[in-house]
Structures are given as C-alpha cells and as structure tokens.
Structure 1
Amino acid sequence: MAGNDRIVVVGSGPAGSRAAETLYRAGCRNLTLISEAPASGGQIYRRQPAGFKRPPASLYGDDAAKALRLHDAFDALAGEIDYRPNTLVWNIFEGAVHTSDASGTDRVEFDRLVLSTGAMDRIIPIPGWTLPGVFTLGGSQIALKNQACSIGRAVVFAGTGPLLYLVAYQYAKAGANVVAVLDSASYADKVRGAARMARMPRMLLRGLAYRRYLSRKRIMLREGVRLRSIEGGDSVQGIHFSAGGRDAFVPCDAVGLGFGLSPEMQLAEIAGCRTRFDADNRQWVVAHDGQGRAGDGIYVAGDGSAIGGADVAELAGERAALALLADIGLPGPKARLRQIERDLGQLAAFRKGVETSFPFPAGWIGEAPDETILCRCENVTFGEVRAAIDRFEPQEVNRLKALARPGMGRCQGRVCGPVLAELLSATTGKALDQVGKLRGQGPVKPISYGRTCGQADPQVDAWMRAGEKRDGDDQGF
C-alpha cells in the first residue's frame, strides 16, 4: 500500500513538525522523525530545559501562541511515530540516512525523505571576531532562550537583518545591558524595502516596535555602519566602527554578530538535490519544483532549502507533505493547497522587502585585512588565501579549499565557505556564481571515531569504500 511507504523526516522545527503532523494525519504510520535537537520547535521556538518555568510570553513574545500550538501538535504526535531526538544525521547513502547518537550509529532506510534542516548564522569575519565573548546572533539567542543567560554584562549586537533587532529587543526586555545595536544597512535601504513590507503591516509594525523599544531604553542605534574590529586580548573589550564619516569605539565585554542566515543544505546535496544561485541574496539554495519536490523521493521545506522565516517554513512543511502524499496516491484537499500558495506568495513579497532593507555587505570581504582569520577551524587568514590565489590562480572554490585549507575543519566550511567564495570572486573578478560553492559531503558534522570506524561499523566501512572512488583532493575531514 502507498500509505506504508517508509518516510523519514529530518528536523523538528516549524517545517519538519508540520510535515510530520500532516503525513500522520493522512494515515502514514511508517514514519520516522530524526532531530539533532533535544526537543521540537527549532531555533525560533526553542524550548527551555526541564525544570525551567519561564512563561511562554517571556520566551517567544508575540509568537507565544504559535509556539505553543506547534509544540502541542508535535507532543501529541511524538508518541505515535518513531521519534529520535538528540540524533545527528551525518550522511545519506544507498537509500538510507546514517545517524549518530549517544548509543552509536544507525542506518534508517527510507522510500521518501523530507529534509527540513534549518539555517545557520551568516558571518563576515572582521578583525577580532574569534575572541572569547564573540557569539553569533543565533548563539546569543540560544543562551537567552535555553538558559536565561546573557552573553555578557555589556553587550553590543552588530551586523544586519531582522534578527539583529529581535535579539537586541529580547535581551533588553529580559533586563540585560545592551550597549549598542550597529546595523550595516542604511536608513535609505530600509526606505527602499518598506513598500513591500507594508503589504503585511502587522509584521512590519512589530519590527518597528522592537526598534522603538530599544530607543526608549536609550540604547545606541546606528545605521549604515562599517564594522572595523573587535578589540581585546583574552576577552572582548570593545568594538570599533565607522558611520557617517566618523570613527567610533564602544566599550563592551561581548558581541553578538550576524548578517542574516544561510540554508543548511549539505544533506540535500548529498541526497542528490540540485542547487541554484540566488543572486539577490548572493547565496546558493536548494532547487525544487515549487511544491518541495527536490529529487527522486526527496522533498525539502523551510530555511534548509531557502531562507523565509518561521511562517514560511511551517507552510512549506505542510506543502511538501501534501506533495509527498499526492505522489503516493493520497492527494490532499486542493482548496488547502491554494490557500498555502496564496499565503506563501504574500510572505514572499514581504521577504523581498526584508532583503532590500537589510542587504548583505559583501564588499567588506574583499577589503578584509590580510591578518584577519577567515577560517577559524584551520586558523587560515585572508592573507594566506590571497597568497594561494595569486600563486596558483584557482578558478573554483573547491580547488582553493584544497590549496589553502579553509573549510577542512570541524564546521566543514559552513562559516567560511561562503566567505571563501566571495573572496575568490572579488580577487579574480569572476562572478560569484561562477566560482561555485563548497560541495556538501559526509560526515556533515564531526562524529566520534569510537562510534564508527573504531567499532568496525559495516555501514561506515561501506561508505568509506565508496568514498575511495571519489576525487579525494577536497574531502578534507
């Protein structure tokens, strides 16, 4: 029977949770949901640890009702399916996802696979960004949501994007000492994007309310900022920036840094999905048919395929599940599909306004000082990468990785890969899409040797043997 297809959903954020709920309600019982997180909700609706008693309004603000609705729906589902939290999917190979958890490795076969892998912070390295006390905006938010902790006693949030103001607001609302918010986007950028964002006035007014709250708290707000450096020795002591033709220094002991988000699409690539270049955002995203179909039996949804936010992710998760159901002979109601498309269209227009209002300052990368660390995992500087480009004249980013070693460390190029491509583009004059991107490869994150090869795990041995057939000059574990 079609409804007995083995279905695996990866990720338990808004997209994965809604996809799994839709599939189960339609009668799919051979359903496994695998999540690296200890509980559902994703980053946006992250749950507090057991024993914490903060009210939902303090965790999620105006989105508390959405968060609780998603949590409650998932909790009702979790006991009815094969739910595997705290589990890393580190590879997809021969019709199965390969996982690692506290007990070891496992292999879960599938007929259909839904990937809702979420996103991560997008970073531009500046001098001092590797100092203790520098966090991503997402990391700063995790500290506050998960443990009710501030990243410092005097915090500066810097970068650009809606998350910049949201995290600053959440910290200030919680009573933390937010010293300044430094936004690379200018006031003129925001004016250009306002018309599209005004199509969803409630969301626009919410963002303006965050900014107004920060102003009332007398927190320094600066737009059109160029971040120069984060200063300190063993810890952060302050941040240098310029704005309006003037240089300034703000003392602080912690910095939250971020320039938007990047899709976590390594698993989609390994599964054989195609990617496409999004010129407006200067990043690669997963290509699909408009319904979430991204390959033979592979479906994608949420920020792991392209950045859209929590509301888009939830709708896209349901849409991908409905596409899967149609493919196995269990089509959903057409009226619901039409409503999803209308809602997603409206959100897409709003998103275009956001992207216009908070452009990615790519030009900073080509101007970064030589001594600035580009790849913190391998401690490779901009100067070392520039020297490799001058000497060997690579035309593609994976070749540059092999020559200079950025992207070969623990994060597997998640942080430095996009920066490396931007630098190669700026140095050679080639278009960004022409220099390519670092290829996704397993293991997508570090896994314990003791749980894999050290135990002579047959699934890992098979994968390793297959890997010997691939070009090994850019494997870089």
Structure 2
Amino acid sequence: MSEVNKPRIVIVGAGPAGIRAAETLVAGGLSPIVLDEGERGGGQIYRRPPEGFTRPPEVLYGSEAAKAVALHKTFDAMVAAGRLIHHPRSSVIAIADGRLQVLGGAGSRWIAYDRLILATGAMDRIMPVPGWENPGVYGLGAMQIALKAQGAALGRRLVLAGSGPLLTLLAVQLLKAGGQVGAVLDTTPMRRQLHGFAGLSARPLFALRGLAMRWRLAGLYHAGVRLERIEADERGPVAVLWRDASGREQRTACDAVGLGWHLRAETRLADLAGCDFSYDETWRQWLPKADAMGRARPGVYLAGDGLRILGADGAEVAGRLAAAACLQDLGLPAPDIAVDRRRLGRFSRFARGVAEAFPWPAEAAAGLPGETVICRCEGVTAAALRDTVNFGGGEVNRAKSLGRVGMGRCQGRYCELAAAEIVAGSAGHDCARAAGRLRGQAPVRPAPIASLLQDATADG
C-alpha cells in the first residue's frame, strides 16, 4: 500500500493502550498519528520524568519497572524510526465531521482521520468531603504525578483518604521516597474488601503484592473509617477529622490531603465521537459501549481505562485488540488475537473483584451535609444542588442548567458522580442511573478563546 493510499489513523493517548495500539498498527504496515498531552509516551501509570532526572526506574515504578522501560523503549523506537507521527503536549478539545481539534504549543489546528482509536485512560474518582475545596487538597493521581515527574511530595505531613489500590500504592511510594504520611484512611470496611476475593484470585500474584504493600503500612492504615471533615486555615489543611471502624472520633494533623476512590473512566471524547453509553452497576458510572475488540461505532475504537478500567496490563491488551479490529475492518492482515482475548477476560474478572472490594461510597455521597461543596469550580454546595431537584426534577443536566454544577474548568470530572448520587437521592431514586450523566461538550479542556476563533479549515 502506498503512503498516499494509506488510511489516516489517529490514536489519542500514549499510555499503555495507545502505545500497544500504535505498535500493532505499525506492524501491520500503517503509520498512525499519536496525540498525547504528555511530553513523552508512557501515560499516567508509567509517567516519565523530565530529561536529566536521575531517579532510576526501579524507584519510580517499583515492581513494574521492567514493564515501564520496555513500553518506553518500544514507543521511542517507533518515533525514532519515523514509523509513526507523535504530537506531544497536544490536547484534543473537540471532535466534529471526522476531524479532531487539537490544542498544542503552537496553538490550535484540525487533524482529519479515517479511523480513530481513543485511549484516553482514567482519572481519580473523588467523593467530596467537607473542607475538600481548600488549597492543599489533591487527588491521589496528582500526588503521584508530582512524585514521579519531580520527585516531590505535595506536603510535609500527608493524610491519604479514599479507597482502592492506588490509596495503598501511593502511600508506599511516598514512604519509600522519604515522605511523611500521618494516616491512610480507607472508607471501605475490611469485611467488604473480602467480597472481591473471588475476582482478585484471577491475578493472585498481583493481589499478594497489594497485601504486602498493605502490610508495610502497618499502623498507618485504617479500614472502615468515616471521614468527617478537613480542617483548614488560610494556608491549607491542618487536620483531618474522622471516625474509626468502632465509631471513635480521631484527628490527624497534616498540611496536605490526598483523596481518591479508585478511578473513573475519561469518556468526554468518546461522547463527542458519538459513542453510546450504559450505566455499569458495579463501577457506579456511565461507560461507553463497545464490543470485545473495542469497536464502539464505525471507524471509532476504544481501548484502555477509558472503556474498561482494567489497569496497565489490561490496557496493553485492549490497545492491541483495538488496533487488530481496525486492521480487520480495513481488510488488512491482523495478528492472532486468541491469547489476548483470553487475557482480557482474566483482567476483567480481576477488575470486577477490585470494584466489588472497594466500592464507590454511594450512600455517603448522597448523604453529604448541605454545606459541603460539591463542585469546587463553581462553589456549588450539596444544599444548593438538592434545591435544583425541586425545580427541575432528578436529572443532572437539568441540575447543571439550574445550579451550575459541572460548569467549571473540569466539566464535572470531579463532581459529576457525587452530584448524580445527590440528585438521585433527593428525587427519591435508589440508583444514580436515574439521574443520567452530564453530556460532553467541546472544548473538553480549557482552551484560549483565540483557539476557538481560528479558521477551522486548517488541517494538520
């Protein structure tokens, strides 16, 4: 196939899913375009520090160092050989008429595609806590980025709170780097964590590694806690008030707080690309629909945590499958997918086990005190959000138009899930599914006004 006749395939995201998708397409004789917000390929889990950073991979990635290095080398080799076109520090802010609007250092431009693979990953899933709107309160992912990219802890004495594997992993990483962690507060009771044992057994070594990390935290880790509030002054947090599993009130001094309840899929671009969604009862969030290979709609493929939250290993498999589906649909030779299909099934069972062991605290979110700020961008409280239900019914888009929840810079990425629980509960629904989901809108990232006024005919 000549270069002129080759289809233009664009991959959004250069994490494990995006890199393996690119590798599969390159092996099939194609030259994809890879767009990524990072400077170098690797994604969040295998995020690379700046050039000249001296900490070795074993320190940055722990037991996953060999995987990270292999993935980085694969991507760098394809870039160096000119087998793909890599646009780093590039954010896709809109999709329309078979084109992507891409915001980069040189401004905004449009890039056309024949086939699109979205490997957009996931982000922290946050439940608001009274006082979380203060400076010095971060997502667990933000704390991990600072640690990997700059070797910095975002505070001198930290409290980490939430639930899920990242809570334990980040605590261990911070301690290994010399950070001071005052407490690791898990809102999931220990007996509930055991519910996911059957699913976790699909990857026993991975599960045992998590238990070993938990053991290293010793007395810092507390399960089944209830978070009361984050105390703060003009400089930021000073303490976290919480109740232990027995109901006793506790106070842990700190100057920074990290929050996170596992992950939520990043689906805004899938929405703009016209993908259908369904509500997943296990994950308590809306996820795009796709077949086992990642086909979401004609010409659009999804891979990685933006489709199914399977972790880095699962994302690599999903990336290969999405690319193989793309090759099949183009009538080109595709690799044998039998082994990857079996592996994906195993990773899916494990992921379901994680979701069952560390569930989203829906009841706690629905019952947040009225003064709790739900939308940090717009300062919308739980009481104000509940008031919208009286005028607009129990639907989050109506609540958004009436009360501005989800209208800020993050477009609801941090507040939508909790807001849906509050709206549903106030409307008398027993599940956030009934409240619907916030519709994706362009631009999906903050963008300069000038970039939105540019001539839309420019095609990169």
Q: Counterparts of 1:20 and 1:435 in 2: how far apart (Å)?
A: 37
Aligned to 2:191: 188
Q: Secondary structure at the match of 1:145?
A: helix
SS at match of 2:405: coil
| Residue in structure 2 matched with residue 225 of structure 1 by the alignment | 225
Q: Secondary structure at the match of 2:286?
A: strand
CA positional deviation for 1:86: 0.3
CA–CA separation in structure 1 for the residues paired with 2:457 and 2:368: 43
Q: 1:131 to 1:78 in 2, by over 3 A?
A: same
2:188–2:358 contact (8 Å) kept in structure 1: yes
In 2: Cα distance, 1:211 partner to 1:126 partner: 24
User: Structure 1 counterpart of 2:243, which letter?
Assistant: S
CA distance in 2, matches of 1:193, 1:416: 26
Q: How does 1:225-374 map to 2 (within 5 A)?
A: 225-234=225-234, 235-243=236-244, 244-334=246-336, 337-374=337-374
* CA distance in 2: counterparts of 1:6 and 1:91, whole angstroms: 18
Q: 2:50 maps to what in 1?
A: 49
Match of 1:138 among 124, 136, 141: 141
The answer (yes or no) to whether the contact 2:367–2:422 under 8 Å persists in 1 is: no
Partner residue, 2:425:
426
Q: 2:87 aligns with which of 77, 84, 88?
A: 84
For the pair 1:395 / 2:394, whether they are aligned, the reply is yes
Q: C-alpha deviations, 1:98-139, integer Å up to 9, x for none? A: 101111111111110000001110111111101121110000
Cα distance in structure 1, aligned partners of 2:456 and 2:50: 36
- Return the offset for 1:69: 0.5
Deviations 1:165-197 (A, max 9, x none): 000010011111111110011110122222331
The letter for the 2-side match of 1:277 is: Y
Q: Does 1:410 align with 2:409?
A: yes
Name the residue aligned to 2:71.
70
CA distance in 1, matches of 2:308, 2:422: 23
Note if contact 2:136-2:256 (Cα within 8 Å) is conserved in structure 1. Answer: yes
CA distance in 2, matches of 1:402, 1:277: 22
Relative distance call for 1:46 and 1:397 in structure 2 (3 A) is: same
1:459: Cα distance to partner? 4.9
- The structural deviation recorded for 1:433 is 1.4
CA distance in 2, matches of 1:103, 1:115: 23
1:17 corresponding residue in structure 2: 19
Does the 8 Å contact 2:243/2:250 carry over to 1?
Answer: yes
- Counterpart of 2:398 in structure 1: which amino acid? R
How far apart, CA to CA, are the structure 2 residues paired with 1:111 and 1:148? 40
SS of equivalent to 1:458: coil
Deviation, 1:420, is 1.4
Deviations 1:36-72 (A, max 9, x none): 1111100000001112111000000000000000000
Partner of 2:157: 154
Gaps of 5+ in 2: none
Alpha carbons 1:294, 1:300 under 8 Å: kept: yes
The whole-number CA distance in structure 1 between the counterparts of 2:320 and 2:375 is 37
Question: Which residue in the other structure is 2:112 paired with?
Answer: 109
The alpha-carbon distance between structure 1 residues 457 and 373, as it changes in their structure 2 partners (threshold 3 A), is same
| Displacement after TM superposition at 1:402 (Å) | 0.2
Counterpart selection for 1:97 from 85, 88, 100: 100
Q: Which residue of 2 aligns with 1:378?
A: 378
**TM (normalized to structure 1)?**
0.92
Alignment of structure 1 residues 450-465 onto 2, 5 Å? 450-453=450-453, 456-459=454-457
SS in 2 for 1:4: coil
Map Cα deviations across residues 83-107 of structure 1 (whole Å, 9 max, x no partner): 1000110001111111011111111
The secondary structure found in structure 1 opposite 2:48 is coil
* Residues in 2 aligned to 1:192 and 1:172: alpha-carbon distance in whole angstroms: 29
Q: Distance in 2 between matches of 1:153 and 1:422?
A: 34
For the 8 Å contact 1:302–1:313, the answer to whether it is kept is yes
Q: Secondary structure at the match of 2:172?
A: helix
Q: Is the 8 A contact 1:104 1:452 kept in 2?
A: no
**Paired residue secondary structure (1:284):** strand
The 3-state SS of whatever aligns with 1:409 is coil
How many angstroms does 1:296 deviate by? 1.1
User: Letter of the aligned partner of 1:401 in structure 2?
Assistant: K
RMSD: 1.4
Structure 1 Cα separation of the partners of residues 403 and 105 of structure 2:
34
CA distance in 1, matches of 2:303, 2:182: 37
Hey, what's the Cα distance between the residues in 1 that align with 2:380 and 2:26?
47
C-alpha separation between the residues in 2 aligned to 1:437 and 1:291?
Answer: 25
Amino acid in structure 1 at the alignment position of 2:74: A
The Cα shift of 1:331 comes to 3.2
Which blocks of at least 5 consecutive residues in structure 1 are unaligned? 461-477
